[in-house]
Amino acid sequence: MTTTPADQLARIDTAIAAGVHRLLELQQEGGWWVGELESNVTMAAQHLFWHHFLGLRTPDLDGRIANELLSRMRDDGTWAIWFEGPADLSTTVEAYVALRIVGVDPGDRTREAINALGGIPKARVFTKCFLALFDQWPWQRIPPVPVEFVLLPASAPFSIYNLACWARQTVVPLAGVMALRPLRRIDVDLTDIGARPGQSKPAKAPGPVRRRALAAAEKWIRDRQEADGGWGGIQPPWVWGLLFLACRGHGLDDPQFAKAVEGWRGFLVEDGDRLRPEACQSPVWDTALALLGLRACGVPADHPQVRRAADWLLAEEVTVKGDWAVRRPDLAPGGWAFEFQNDSYPDVDDTAVIALALRDLGVGEAAVQRGLDWVVGMQSANGGWGAFDADNTSEWLYKLPFFDFGAVIDPPSVDVSAHALEALGGLPEYQPAVDRGLAYVLAEQEDDGSWFGRWGVNHVYGTGAALPALEACGVPHDHPAVRRAVAWLDSVQHGSGGFGEDVLSYQDRSWRGRGTPTPSQTAWALLGYVAAGEERSDAARRAADFLITSQRLDGDWDEEHFTGTGFPLDFMIRYHLYRLQFPLLALGRLRERLAR
């Protein structure tokens, strides 16, 4: 049966109408959207760990954490970092230990799998630190980061500001804990997976420099506590900040400590008899993407729900300086953060996408101006943009044995740079920054025509971000870089018309553009096609058909695979709204181009 252009438009309109209805009904009363930010079971295990250390466990907590861990166990008795991913040693060790603490034995197959992967001796530093808290691994056998480094000025060859903001916020309290070597023993025998109980040597009595460093670390942490009680809106510094304050003798009678414990409750996902924390929450990002999608689908700018969302975003503008100002002391504040409360760490990605959304709505001109000025000021020396800091490129840090747990720096990436360029393109006052950014993105194109995706999986994400940026900056559709990118997309399109890319592409080139097709990744590819002038191509039609035919009756889509990236391979994310936001954005932009 031949499908006419009119038939295709009608099918797109039907899908858009259902999707828009679904997205609008998911808006929260306060005006924002937020989907669960799902990661892996270490979040649940570590939730139990710090509650044990602080004496806050309850039978109900134990049971619900155990149920969560058991529900996510793979058939072979292990746990993975992402959906259908391979067994991961550290993740499995942490889940196993948490279950043993609450009196559940995962079984011999789990122990055998842990030992086959190397046991506790081969686990990551973070895992060993939690085990050291419980006297199951010697503190002195963990590569140290001296807490004294908090005393080094930012101008020194090495300081805490060489680290990415997420690593910096975590390492400061963790270094303090390691200096103090606390123990809170558990009545569990873990020697059968390589534990070494009772071997920790006590910390030496601190001398004057260490005492000064510990006090400076505590002040640094306290100064950066956010309004919700946390640090940076993410789990690792929140947990280690609490543990460090506890090691310094503080408890629930300390207002900041109590605020942190109470604030963490807002990160808990209640799922029947299961409980899991989110590593982070994404309301600002989700709201911006929702607005872009709704507007692309023709929802009017004066729609009450759209206006409510815009008003909420404007109220979330960051107007104070944060750690980024250490490298950019003369730059005025502006922009937006990812989370509900994170004034210390706005990011370029959110700021660029929100600027696009608000500008399209014709609101918040002054806030958008401040945000874009801040984005331009955060441009790195190579013309690209990192997420949270400028020129955060100390690659040598990966040679230190302590840093074995994922990304610890925040260098420029194509996807963040592309979003910045999409927001800045066509604005004459920013042309010098655009020229430098464009040169960076073009230079980063891979030999196969794709672009790497730092914050989404992976080359489909990078390519789907780069092509709209090139178009926004006036790069013609017949430019060789655009044609190479389209040829690459064509080469990896699935027979179903969809696009998918496995997380394994971060370590194995042969997986680039290969994997189970998903709604979000198909939408990214379709966004790329539209921006490359390919809206009427057979490939774009097939991608749209995939989205239309896989849409649920309620207008939503199903997506179990993890298509978001925290740290490539080491921390992967399933954004629960990506499956809806990006298909609507792609179908809306396609519909608009086809109607021209």
Give me the sheet containing 571-575, strands edge to edge.
37-38, 571-575, 564-567
Structure tokens at 227: 């309004």
Half-sphere exposure of 508 (CA within 13 A, CB side): 8
Closest by alpha carbon to 194, among 126, 112, 103, 125? Answer: 112
Closest by alpha carbon to 41, among 61, 65, 63? Answer: 65
- Strand (E) or helix (H) holding 574: strand 571-575
Measured between alpha carbons, how far is 229 from 257 in angstroms, rounded to an integer?
Answer: 8
Measured between alpha carbons, how far is 501 from 516 in angstroms, rounded to an integer?
Answer: 7
**3-state class of 521 per DSSP?**
helix
Structure tokens at 316: 């979330």
Sign of the CA dihedral running 521, 276, 285, 18: positive
Contact 470, 478 (CB under 8 A): no
Closest by alpha carbon to 279, among 312, 323, 244, 232? Answer: 232
Closest by alpha carbon to 89, among 79, 98, 99? Answer: 79
Secondary-structure breakdown of the chain: helix, strand, coil percentages, each rounded to the nearest 5:
55, 5, 40
Contact 440, 412 (CB under 8 A): yes
Sort 7 into a burial class: Cβ within 10 Å, 0-12 / 13-18 / 19+: exposed
DSSP string, 274-321: EEEE-SB--HHHHHHHHHHHHHHTT--TT-HHHHHHHHHHHHT---S-
Question: Among residues 323, 349, 410, 415, which one is catalytic?
Answer: 349
Q: Which residue has the tokens 């991913």?
A: 85
275 phi and psi, to 5 degrees?
-140, 130
Measured between alpha carbons, how far is 396 from 569 in angstroms, rounded to an integer?
Answer: 20
CA 464 to chain CA centroid, nearest Å:
18
Contact 484, 449 (CB under 8 A): yes
CA 31 to chain CA centroid, nearest Å:
22
Structure tokens at 564: 């978001």
Structure tokens at 337: 């953060």
349 as an active site residue: the answer is: yes
CA 318 to chain CA centroid, nearest Å:
19
Sign of the CA dihedral running 533, 536, 540, 546: positive
Structure tokens at 263: 């604030």
Alpha-carbon radius of gyration of the chain? 24
Closest by alpha carbon to 232, among 260, 262, 251? Answer: 260
Closest by alpha carbon to 164, among 376, 46, 326? Answer: 326
The alpha carbon torsion through 341, 344, 347, 350 (nearest 10 deg) reads 20
Could you give the residue numbers annotated as active site? 349
